[in-house]
Amino acid sequence: MEAAVSSLFAQKMEILEIVKMSLQVSGSATLLSALIGIPLGAWIGLSEFKGKRLLLRLVYTLMALPPVLAGLLVYLLLSRSGPLGFMELLFTPTAMIIAQCLLVTPIITGLVSAGIAAKEGLIFEHAISLGASKTQATWTIIKEARTGIIAGIMTGFGRAFAEVGAVMLVGGNIRHMTRVLTTSIVMETRQGNFEMGIALGIILLLLSFMVSSIVLSNAEEFSLK
Amino acid sequence: MNLFEISGLKKNFGDRTVLNINELTLQTSKIYAVLGPNGSGKTTLLRVLNLLLAPDSGWIKFMGGDIGISQADRLSVSRQMCMVFQRPFMFRSTVFNNVAYGLKLRRVAKPECERRVNEALDFVDMVDFAKHSATRLSGGETQRVALARALVLQPRVLLLDEPTANLDPGSVQHIEEIIRKYHQEYNTSVIIVTHNLFQAKRIADESILLINGEVVERAYTAEFFDHPRELRTRQFLDGTMVY
């Protein structure tokens, strides 16, 4: 443990840079996924349409998408010979964000849809009976399903923050550019620097704990106002 | 004045007809008790009246006028009534915010909203609970908040779906007092679905018996219980009806 702490202090600046990059990439990916996944999940949860069950099965399947496969797909898309190769995004933080979005969007969509569908009928009837229009009733359902929505966001962030396969493939673990906590842990372990690997792992867990604490405490404030 | 005029009303769930009412007219400023065995269509009738369910055929007039099909027309009609459910859902917020919900939807100014919420909470003896979490109340308290949430909107008609089911006798008495007092003070029409025959006797001006979605008998409450005209009503009241 002492060795782990002293290795951390020795490379303080570089670790801060890695932490910053990890938060930037996973935070942006989660934010983008939430912007897509919350409305999509709400729409699936609230609507009845042909093919809904098939769409839900697809979303639930994608929730278990292996990170390496997501990374491979983005790699093929962004590689020089790929359809988006001209954008020269491979081995950049943007490529890492895209890959993580692919992993996180289905998680947020699936959990939001399940959270909303569980309450939809009951809340809708109460809201309409109290004089809500359909739009107002829908907004009330979304507010009431906030625990499910926040759980979706937090699970998505956790998935993005802890995954290594996708960011390793499309980011390349380039020092000062695309190196994040998880890829650093893999690298340190390969080099036999187990103390450093453990120290980075502890940082990863602590950051994850801090982010979820901040989000959950703010969520309590988000009530019927 | 007629509150509701119902004609040829039918509602099916799959192959099953749950409501089949040829003619039924309800007047304003009265308390009606809707009685009947489980599955007789009582709650469905309330939901249709509250525009939560669309009938498959027939028509309903509200206050002498047809109910339009546009969303705005339906909203303006549904905002004149309010339903309290058997198991009311409390929004995850304070008691105050729950009662204020309908007023906020109607964009009532904050000072007036506060005044009306406090009045409604006072009416149901729940002022001290204003800042409490609405999801942590007892059954009787929840039902009183649900009533306050409806009363604060000053509806023309109050639709109550077994509001005292599963409550202890003290809470039942309290809820009945609130309903009676509100009806007297504001002349609000009340339609209450209940399995409690004594409750119907205590508070209703008129009683209606529904069986298999059809109105079997409708009469002044004293007459309904003391001199029922129909054999099925007598069997229902005697408890000898096998459903």
In chain A, residues with a C-beta closer than 8 Å to the C-beta of B106 are: 131
Give B189-203 pLDDT, tens digit per residue.
Answer: 999 999 999 999 999
pLDDT at position A217 is: 77
The contacts of residue B43 (CB under 8 Å, 6+ apart) are: B86, B161, B162, B193
CB contacts under 8 A, B 209-228 vs A, are none
DSSP category for residue B194:
-
- Contact (CB<8Å) A128/B52: yes
Give ipTM to 2 decimals.
0.89
In chain A, residues with a C-beta closer than 8 Å to the C-beta of B52 are: 125, 128-129
**What is the Cα–Cα distance from B141 to A36, expressed in whole angstroms?**
40
Q: Which residue in B has a C-alpha nearest to residue A126's C-alpha?
A: B89
User: Residue A225 in 3-state DSSP?
Assistant: coil
Q: Could you tell me if A135 lies within 8 Å of chain B, comparing CB atoms?
A: no
Percent of chain B with pLDDT over 90: 89
Q: Which residues of A159-173 are buried (b: 16+ CB within 10 A; e: fewer)?
A: bbbebbbbbbbbbbb
Which has the higher per-residue pLDDT, B69 or B47? Answer: B47
pLDDT at position B241 is: 64
Cβ–Cβ < 8 Å for B32, B207: yes
Q: Which residues of A30-68 are buried (b: 16+ CB within 10 A; e: fewer)?
A: bebbbeebbebbbebbbeeeeeeeeebeebeebbebebe
Q: Could you tell me if B42 lies within 8 Å of chain A, comparing CB atoms?
A: no
Q: Could you tell me if A223 lies within 8 Å of chain B, comparing CB atoms?
A: yes
Q: Enumerate residue ranges in chain A where pLDDT < 70.
A: 1-10, 219-225
The predicted model gives B34-61 an average pLDDT of: 94
Q: Could you tell me if B149 lies within 8 Å of chain A, comparing CB atoms?
A: yes
Alpha-carbon distance A42 to nearest alpha carbon in chain B (angstroms) = 18
Q: Which residue in B has a C-alpha nearest to residue A147's C-alpha?
A: B92
pLDDT at position A22 is: 96
In chain B, residues with a C-beta closer than 8 Å to the C-beta of A134 are: 71
The predicted model gives B170-190 an average pLDDT of: 94
Alpha-carbon distance B96 to nearest alpha carbon in chain A (angstroms) = 10
pLDDT at position A36 is: 96
What domains lie within chain A, and their CATH numbers?
Answer: 23-180 (1.10.3720.10)
Which residue, among A136, A224, A225, would best test binding to B if mutated, counting the most B CBs under 10 Å from its CB? A224
pLDDT for B242 beyond 60: no
**What is the Cα–Cα distance from A100 to A159, expressed in whole angstroms?**
8
Give B77-93 pLDDT, tens digit per residue.
Answer: 999 999 999 999 999 99
pLDDT at position A207 is: 93
The predicted model gives B126-151 an average pLDDT of: 95
Alpha-carbon distance A92 to nearest alpha carbon in chain B (angstroms) = 43
